Every structure is written in C-alpha cells, then in structure tokens.
C-alpha cells in the first residue's frame, strides 16, 4: 500500500485495480522444481528458432501506430478467409491481444457502465473491465437485450466463443448466429476474443461470431502468442469502420506502436512455406499432451471432480463434486510444488465459482503431470473430506 500522502494523490480509478492472481502465481513458478498447471504457457518445445540476421534495418525505426502495412494486409486476408468482411485499413496491430482488451475498455467504460461477459471468463479481462469501473453482468439470454431500455443494454458484450478460457467450450453454429442476431437487434457492440482458434484438436465450428453480424459494431481480436511466441508480445484486432479510428487514437496514446521487430518476425513466419506445417506439428504436440493429461485426470480425479475433454485450447476446467473454495487449496498446493488457478477468479460474481478450477495442460511434462495431479487429488480429497 502506498503511504497515505501519496494515496490521496492517486486516481480514483486505482481503487478498482487488483493485482492479477495469475501473475502472482507465475512469480512463484521460478522456484526450482515447481509444476505449473496455472498460466496458459505454451510448451517451450513449440517455440520457433529465430535468425535475426536477415531482418531489415528499417524495423529499428519508429513506425505507424496501426502496424506495418504488409502485416495488416496479411492479417486482413487471413480474416477474410474466416468469413469476416475486413480490409487492411480495419486492422490494428497490438502489443499482445491483452492490449486490445485495455483499448476496448478505454473506448467504452465509464464508472458503472454495464458490460456483458460470460461466466466464467478470462480473468485478466475482468481485471481490466473492473479497473475502469464496469458493472459486470452475465450473458445469459442476450435475446432480452432488444427489449431492455437502451441505457440498460450493455455497452458491449465480451465473448471468447472458440475454446473459451477457462472452460474450453466452443459455441455451435446456432449459438453463434443467435448471439450475432441479438447484438444486431439491440445494437450491442460485440467484442470477440479469439486467441486459441488455431489450437484445434478436433473438428468444430470456428467461424467468428463477428462474421454473422449485419449491423452491430464489432471488434475481433487474435494473438500470435499461443501459436508462435508469447514473448514477442504481438496480437491484432480488426474492427468495424466506426470503431477503428478511435482504437487507433487510443493505441497512439498507449504505446505509439507495437514492436516492429516482432512484426517483422511474425510476418516472415506467416509468409514462410513452413508455417502451416509448423502449426500442424504444434497441434499434434498439444493433442498428445491433452490426451495424456486426460488419462491421468481420469485416474486421479474422477471420484472428486467432473470435466469435459476440451476440443481445443490449453485448459481443462474442473467442477469438484464437493463445492469447496479452491482458493484455500492454492497455498498448500504451492507448498507441495504444484500451481493451478482457482475457478473463483474467473467469475464476475466470485461466489459462483466455488468448487471450480482451471488446469493448463500445455506446459508441464508427462512426468510433472503425473506427480502434480496426484498431489492435487490428495489435497482436494482432504479438503472435501
Ligand atoms: C482469452 C484471452 N485473451 C487474451 C489473452 C492475452 O494474450 P496475449 O496478450 O499474449 O496475446 C489471453 C492470454 O492467455 C487469453 O487467454
């Protein structure tokens, strides 16, 4: 806590600033021997080998806030293939898709602005929306938005329809169409966050919900973190023409532009002949890891919890058969060298998350998954007794 004299000078908004529970757990992970099921860390074996020798010197100069034109053109053409109507001028390159969440929050949220989110949802989005003072409401029946008074409609709806973080859920076609129709009918802007779409282990519907919109404003964002390298801090958004210029101004104020070195590396990768092959190899690695993790989970935790094997993404979402507060399990788990994410943090109303937890399967080795899940099962068994 800052000293009282300093505290009085800080912005009122700062009252809503909570530290990210994930980043706190990640800090503990530096301890030797820790097994992590906590963050969404890609496996180091999937990272590219990067040769910096042939990069243009031009990328050491300042660049445009919107991003390098060649990368914007490439992203736009990839998005058109997914069904989005999108030109290069509608693309903004981001310093990680986390920045898109920050920019969209700045665009829409004043204290007490209603914002619709899934429950559970990505906890770092909740952290940002709360920081700007959002009144969070859960997306349950979006069809009712059109009947609500305009002031009661959410300023925007934030969704992760494909391999959702944390639940792993993937919306079907009807659900995608219905959400788009509700946003159109009530003029609720849709903010679709899609960082996991490339990590698909089974065939499933992945058309962006934004592609089904006819009238409503929209922001669709993706990331190069999960399929390329998170340390490059590069993502992108595409937005309807009414929102894009405002998002560009917010980006200018935030960081001028994203790293041009990272942009060159990503563009070079996207345009290389081996890009598709590399993605296939990553997906195969994660599919094997997921299947192995599922087998160990079944052996260790079937009596204590239930879950669905995710068709994509990086997480298993567990519901305990006895609803204990999983935050109380975190300290003893860390003491035993195992990190996980309590489910409470992913809910706009934390009480609704009692008895849930998220386990990442991409980072731990097979041996760590065996030992970590056995330790977790013992702790949960004791907590539930
Ligand atoms: C749903 C979701 N959105 C955004 C992000 C941020 O990703 P990045 O900033 O690395 O692109 C993450 C990271 O895990 C995520 O799960």
pLDDT, tens only, 175-185: 999 999 999 99
Binding site membership of 122 for ligand 1 (Cβ less than 6 Å): yes
Strands 35-36 and 338-339: parallel
Strand partners, 158: 117, 191
Up-side HSE of residue 47: CA atoms within 13 Å toward CB? 13
pLDDT exceeds cutoff 70 at 352: yes
pLDDT exceeds cutoff 70 at 334: yes
Question: What is the C-alpha separation between 103 and 1, in angstroms, rounded?
Answer: 27
Distance from Cα 224 to the centre of ligand 1, integer Å:
10
pLDDT exceeds cutoff 70 at 174: yes
pLDDT exceeds cutoff 70 at 103: yes
- 244 Cβ contact list (under 8 Å, min separation 6): 89, 90, 92
DSSP 8: T
Give the nearest ligand 1 atom to 224 CA. Answer: 11
Distance from Cα 148 to the centre of ligand 1, integer Å:
31
Distance from Cα 195 to the centre of ligand 1, integer Å:
6
For residues 233-242, give the mean pLDDT: 98
Q: Probe ligand 1: pick from 121, 160, 168, 225, max atoms within 8 Å of CB?
A: 225
Q: Does an H or E element contain 323, and which?
A: none
- 297 Cβ contact list (under 8 Å, min separation 6): 307, 316, 318, 359, 373
> pLDDT value at position 316?
98
For residues 317-331, give the mean pLDDT: 93
Distance from Cα 53 to the centre of ligand 1, integer Å:
29
User: What DSSP letter does each residue of 279-306 carry, written as one string?
Assistant: HHHHHHHHHHHHHHHHHHHHHHHTTTEE
Which range, of 235-239, 295-299, 348-352, 372-376, averages the lowest pLDDT?
348-352
Distance from Cα 97 to the centre of ligand 1, integer Å:
6
Q: Does an H or E element contain 366, and which?
A: helix 366-384
pLDDT exceeds cutoff 90 at 25: no
pLDDT, tens only, 259-275: 999 999 999 999 999 99
> pLDDT value at position 32?
83
Which range, of 53-67, 130-144, 280-294, averages the lowest pLDDT?
53-67
Give the nearest ligand 1 atom to 101 CA. Answer: 4
Rg (alpha carbons) of the chain, rounded to whole number:
21
The whole-chain average pLDDT of the chain stands at 93
> pLDDT value at position 357?
97
> pLDDT value at position 23?
65
Question: What is the C-alpha separation between 384 and 356, in angstroms, rounded?
Answer: 13
> pLDDT value at position 280?
96
To the question of pTM greater than 0.75 for the whole model, the response is: yes
pLDDT exceeds cutoff 90 at 44: no
Distance from Cα 98 to the centre of ligand 1, integer Å:
6
Give the helix ranges, DSSP H, for 132-229. Answer: 173-186
Question: What is the C-alpha separation between 342 and 24, in angstroms, rounded?
Answer: 13
Binding site membership of 313 for ligand 1 (Cβ less than 6 Å): no
Binding site membership of 225 for ligand 1 (Cβ less than 6 Å): yes
As to burial, measured by CB atoms within 10 angstroms (0-12 exposed, 13-18 middle, 19+ buried), residue 381 is: middle
pLDDT exceeds cutoff 80 at 56: no
pLDDT exceeds cutoff 70 at 16: no
Binding site membership of 161 for ligand 1 (Cβ less than 6 Å): no
Which range, of 147-151, 166-170, 195-199, averages the lowest pLDDT?
147-151
Share of the chain above pLDDT 90, in %: 79
> pLDDT value at position 247?
98
- 174 Cβ contact list (under 8 Å, min separation 6): none
pLDDT exceeds cutoff 80 at 385: no
Residue 302 sits at φ, ψ, to 5 deg, of -60, -35
Residue 284: pLDDT band with limits 50, 70, 90: very high
Question: What is the C-alpha separation between 346 and 104, in angstroms, rounded?
Answer: 19
Distance from Cα 317 to the centre of ligand 1, integer Å:
17
Binding site membership of 222 for ligand 1 (Cβ less than 6 Å): no
Residue 132: pLDDT band with limits 50, 70, 90: very high
């Amino acid at each position: 806590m800052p000293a009282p004299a300093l505290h009085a000078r800080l912005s009122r908004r700062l009252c809503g600033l909570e530290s990210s529970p994930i980043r706190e757990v990640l800090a503990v992970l530096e301890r030797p021997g820790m097994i992590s099921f906590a963050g969404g860390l890609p496996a180091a074996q999937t990272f590219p080998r990067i040769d910096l020798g042939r990069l243009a010197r031009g990328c050491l100069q300042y660049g445009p806030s919107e991003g390098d034109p060649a990368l914007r053109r490439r992203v736009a053409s990839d998005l058109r293939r997914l069904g989005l109507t999108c030109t290069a001028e509608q693309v903004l390159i981001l310093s990680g898709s986390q920045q898109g969440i920050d920019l969209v929050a700045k665009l829409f949220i004043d204290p007490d602005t209603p914002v619709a989110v899934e429950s559970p949802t990505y906890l770092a989005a909740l952290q940002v929306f709360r920081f700007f003072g959002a009144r969070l409401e859960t997306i349950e029946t979006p069809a009712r938005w059109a009947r609500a008074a305009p002031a009661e409609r959410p300023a925007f709806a934030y969704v992760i329809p494909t391999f959702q973080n944390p639940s792993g859920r993937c919306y079907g076609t009807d659900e995608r169409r219905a959400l788009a129709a509700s946003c159109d009918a009530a003029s609720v802007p849709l903010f679709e966050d899609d960082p996991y779409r490339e990590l698909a282990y089974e065939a499933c519907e992945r058309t962006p919900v934004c592609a089904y919109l006819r009238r409503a404003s929209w922001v669709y964002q993706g990331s190069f973190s999960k399929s390329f390298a998170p340390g490059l801090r590069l993502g992108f958004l595409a937005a309807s023409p009414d929102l894009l210029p405002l998002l560009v101004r917010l980006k200018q104020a935030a960081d001028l532009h994203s790293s041009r070195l990272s942009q060159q590396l990503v563009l070079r990768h996207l345009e290389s002949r081996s890009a598709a092959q590399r993605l296939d190899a990553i997906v195969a690695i994660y599919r094997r890891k997921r299947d192995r993790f599922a087998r160990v989970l079944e052996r260790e935790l079937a009596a204590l919890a239930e879950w669905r094997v995710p068709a994509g993404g990086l997480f298993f979402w567990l519901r305990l058969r006895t609803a204990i507060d999983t935050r109380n399990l975190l300290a003893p788990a860390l003491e035993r060298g195992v990190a996980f994410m309590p489910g409470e943090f992913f809910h706009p109303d934390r009480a609704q998350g009692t008895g849930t937890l998220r386990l990442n399967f991409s980072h731990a080795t097979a041996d760590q998954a065996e030992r970590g899940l056995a330790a977790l099962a013992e702790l949960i068994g004791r907590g539930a007794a």
